[in-house]
Amino acid sequence: MVKKLKIFYFFIFSFSLTLSFLLLFIVFEKKNLNPSLKNQKLEEINEKEIDKELKEKIGQMIVIGFRGTKVSENSPIVRAIKELNLGGVILFDYDIPSKSFPRNILTPEQTKKLISDLQKFSSIPLFIAVDAEGGKINRLKENYGFLKIPSHEELGKINDLNFTKQEISKLSKQLKDLGFNVNFAPVLDLNTNLQNPIIGKLGRSFSSDPEIVFSQAKVFIKAHVENGVIPIVKHFPGHGSSFSDSHLEMVDVTNSWEEEELIPYKKLKNENLLFGVMVGHVFNKKIDKDYPATLSPKFLQEILRKEIGFNGVIISDDLQMGAIKKHYSLEEAIIKAINAGCDVLLFSNNIEEYDENLPYKVFDIIFQAVKEGKISKERIFEAFERVINLKKEFGIIK
């Protein structure tokens, strides 16, 4: 019996010793004999971290439209805000694809709650944008219970800066009280073509005189800044001389555009009153024979950045407009706009059709373009930094 126990213990001891040596050998192999495998694992971890950071930044470059006068945790736009870290949204009163009211804006009380609810779901506070120029281009209409604001044309004709300040102070205070922090206004286009279907005929220009446009815009901008609302000037480099509407088709201003259309931009920049610039889909062969301003490095880098000296946020006009959509695929438009210098891409999701998956499509196009080397990571990081700095400057990010 004792002999059997000795044999048993010897067997256990031998097995344990063998197992220990085997484990030590495996550890030694992992640590010393497979450095390439170890490096591969580290590279995979690093790549995942880089992708995560990249995705967080891409979302901030997207401002998009959506349907709904109220939202909940299950709303498509809320899911997109949370999953993609979207930079912002734009609100409308009218839904063009369905030809019906309301889209987002119904009453002051409802609009304020909608905006408040949207912000609750965002990790980085959103840009909440609207077109509130006054006159005909105003999503906050008097019959909904909002203030009536004069058009740019009316303000320019009166040309009383005190009156402009009084009216626009009321507008910007109303925007702030509702929760809007971005107004896509004022319009800096010169009213050089009274037959212009999208500017002149709609009373959207202060004047054909660049000095009046500058002085009126200066007051307009200051009133917004005082109330903590970001004024985004438009439509660089000038849409006032056109004979067509970029919502429908490409606008060629080659033979009508004048250098003086840049004067309001230059003078506002000299007074540190340019915070964001929206670029129009205007085509000018004398400056760029290949691309409209939105997709043109010549317009955005050589003129807006270098000549004018603007280093703030550049935002595209709606990339779903006919001027772009009829000539470029969604992927082409996005890649060219970012590489040209647009820091924020605007998609109204409110022209021909509505697509609740559009935020994901835009996001995926940008992410894949970076992975394939069509857009540099540095370009994304640069745009992200400008967006965050603007949000901090206006107290959107505390």
The catalytic residue positions are 247, 317
Cα distance between residue 198 and residue 195, in whole Å: 9
Closest CA to 209 of 236, 240, 237, 186: 240
Integer angstrom CA distances of residue 321 from 25, 245, 251, 353 = 66, 10, 11, 11
Cα distance between residue 184 and residue 188, in whole Å: 11
Q: CB-based contacts of 273: which residues, under 8 Å, 6+ apart?
A: 218, 221, 222, 225
Cα distance between residue 122 and residue 107, in whole Å: 23
Dump the DSSP string for 121-161: T-SSPPEEEE-EEETTEESS-GGGTPPP---HHHHHHH--H
**273-301 in b/e burial notation, b at 16+ Cβ within 10 A?**
bbbbbbbbbbbbeebbeebbbbbbebbbe
Q: How many residues does the chain have?
A: 398
Query: With contact defined as beta carbons under 8 Å apart, do 256 and 301 qualify?
Result: no
Cα distance between residue 98 and residue 83, in whole Å: 27
Cα distance between residue 237 and residue 226, in whole Å: 26
Cα distance between residue 185 and residue 229, in whole Å: 11
Cα distance between residue 175 and residue 140, in whole Å: 9
Cα distance between residue 240 and residue 296, in whole Å: 19
Cα distance between residue 103 and residue 114, in whole Å: 12
